Amino acid sequence: MNPRNLGEIENADAEAEVGNMRCGDVMKIYLKVGTRNGEQGKSEKYIEDIKFQTLGCAAAIAASSMMTELVKGKTIEDALKVSRDDINEELGILPKQKYHCSILSADAIKKAIEDYQKKSNR
Amino acid sequence: MERIYLDNSATTAVVPEVAKKMAETMEKTWGNPSSVHTIGQEAKQMLDQARSEVADFFGAKPEEIIFTSGGSESDNLAIRGVVESRTWNVERGLPHIITSATEHHAVLHTIEDLEKADLIEAAYIKPDKDGYISPESIEKEIKDNTILVSIIYVNNETGAVVPIKEIGAMIEKQNTEYRIQNTEKILFHTDAVQAIEFMPADVNELGVDLLTFTAHKIHGPKGVGGLYVKKGVKLAQQITGGSQEFNFRAGTENIAGVVGLVEALKLVRQYSSSEQSESRSSDSSRSANRRTRTIKSVEKLRDKLILGIQNNVFDTILNAGGAKRAPHIANISFMNAEGEAIILNLDFLGIAVSSGSACTSRSLEPSHVLSAMGIPPEKTHGAIRFSLSRYTTEKEIDKVIEVLPPIIEKLRKMSPMKNLHV
């Protein structure tokens, strides 16, 4: 049980908390968004750092950890594309009743990016 | 890695004496008891002998003991067997069964099934917050068309004990004083699967008509158990076919399994049976003292575990804490830590337990037992069941007390919830 990217980010650029009513698991993620020069020298926003906290079963913890590994370093656009199936595949296919844990972590990153976009449009 | 097994309510280790006796039987007495020849008759003799010994354990007659494949089958035979045993008087409405909301699924789902098929009406009694079910709460539900009451003796998740004797007395009173003539007697069934090891099991004292028991919770093999059926009670065969088991249950008898069951019961009597059955035993007072010591010593270790946990971990709840509980089970909720994660972390250290959390059930529903007691999801989320056996040592309990608090602390640190308190 060694999840990556565990913890909080102080003064995070975005935060999101998602809960799964089915089994009571709760996931919270923190984003640090950075700017860098991407392809063709265009400036792009990307996930500079990401941390998570989870109250849940092993599959929930694994799914959140895997999600953070998958989105870290990606542009905001690419991070939004990470789907529950991607997470599921990287984990090696969760058993059917644990599938909702990957949905939870996919929802978390989308919600966090929404939060970021709301904050940056102010 | 040294393994510490604290999930005896799920199943128990088969002890060497039992396995040895079973192997012997499989090698030497493999005949079909229905065969006329010697090989068959030797098997029949063994079966009859086993039946007598099981009957003796329960204070019953041999013809009142039916062997089955285990607890689930016995529950099905008892409940479906009663309902299908005759055509009920439809004028008075469908036959009515009273049971509890905290039954084992083998009873609960069977009754729900019959209800869905429009064969019965059912009442599911909710226990109090400690999992206790009073005779009065059952009596209130009795109607003219009630034919069966089925209540679990010791709850497999919380260890809460139901007052079977008092319920039996209440039903007897209903049957003799209040039932008008030509009304069927109410039958009383109890699932005693978790109770046999440490609780009184004399059927006359309990006042039951039907009692379910199984071998694999008392250090016997899986795949064999039985049903006590009081003389005169009619049951419709569920496994239909031949006329074995006094026409209650078809199928060539599982002699080796039954021998294993008998051996396991012998050991229960020797080590764990309660003070009440001491008087029936022909053992010397020395082994009687050993029996009482064992129940009390298991209880002591279980209580040491509870205290050790509560002293070293904050925000915990002992579920069913206010009720009388069997001596070997402790169900504890850890706030802000999830059940399956706790189980896995303990498993890495060789310790086996189970949980009532939604994540650990196949249906993703939290324990129906804890929910029926009114325990909310945020408290069942981190509920762990520790169930000891007569072989659990103090050293094992000390080890669990030592390694559990850091696990809970680690999981709580990982959690985003800061306000989940008792």
Does one domain contain both B67 and B211? yes
For residue B150, being part of any structural domain is answered with yes
CB-based contact A55 B417, cutoff 8 Å = yes
A17 touches chain B (CB under 8 A): yes
Share of chain B above pLDDT 70, in %: 94
Residue found under tokens 């009406």:
B121
A23 touches chain B (CB under 8 A): yes
Question: Exactly one of A15, A19, A20, A23 is catalytic; which is it?
Answer: A23
For residue B306, being part of any structural domain is answered with yes
Does one domain contain both B319 and B207? no
Amino acid at B172: E
For residue B289, being part of any structural domain is answered with no
SS3 A65: helix
B335 touches chain A (CB under 8 A): no
Confidence band, pLDDT 50/70/90 cuts, at residue B360:
confident
- DSSP string covering B186-232: PEEEEE-TTTTTTS---HHHHT-SEEEEESTTTTS-TT-EEEEE-TT
Comparing B293 with A114, the larger pLDDT belongs to: A114
CB-based contact B348 A53, cutoff 8 Å = no
Q: Which residue ranges form the domains of chain A, and what is each CATH number?
A: 14-120 (3.90.1010.10)
Give the total number of structural domains in chain B: 2
- CA A14 to each of CA A25, B321, B363: distance values in angstroms, whole numbers, following the listed order: 21, 43, 34
Comparing B143 with A40, the larger pLDDT belongs to: B143
Q: What mean pLDDT do residues B33-58 have?
A: 97
For residue B384, being part of any structural domain is answered with yes
A120 touches chain B (CB under 8 A): no
Does one domain contain both B26 and B94? yes
Interatomic CA distance for residues B106 and B99, integer angstroms: 12
Provide the 10 A C-beta neighbour count for residue B144.
12
For residue B283, being part of any structural domain is answered with no
Residue of A nearest to B367 (CA): A23
Does one domain contain both B311 and B237? no
**pLDDT by residue (tens digit) across B208-226?**
999 999 999 999 999 999 9
Give pLDDT tens digits along chain A (122 positions).
678 899 999 999 999 999 865 567 899 999 999 999 887 888 999 999 999 999 988 888 888 999 999 999 999 999 999 888 888 888 886 677 777 777 888 999 999 999 998 888 75
Q: Which of A28, A59, A100 sits opposite B416 (nearest CB)?
A: A28
Does one domain contain both B108 and B166? yes
Whether A54 and B416 have beta carbons less than 8 Å apart is answered as: yes
Shortest CA distance to B219 belongs to which of B271, B165, B173? B271
Q: Which domain holds residue B73?
A: 16-271
**pLDDT by residue (tens digit) across B306-353?**
999 999 999 999 999 999 999 999 999 999 999 999 999 999 999 999
SS3 A27: strand
Interatomic CA distance for residues B33 and B28, integer angstroms: 14
Does one domain contain both B230 and B333? no
Q: What mean pLDDT do residues B388-396 have?
A: 95
CATH code for the domain in which residue B223 is found:
3.40.640.10
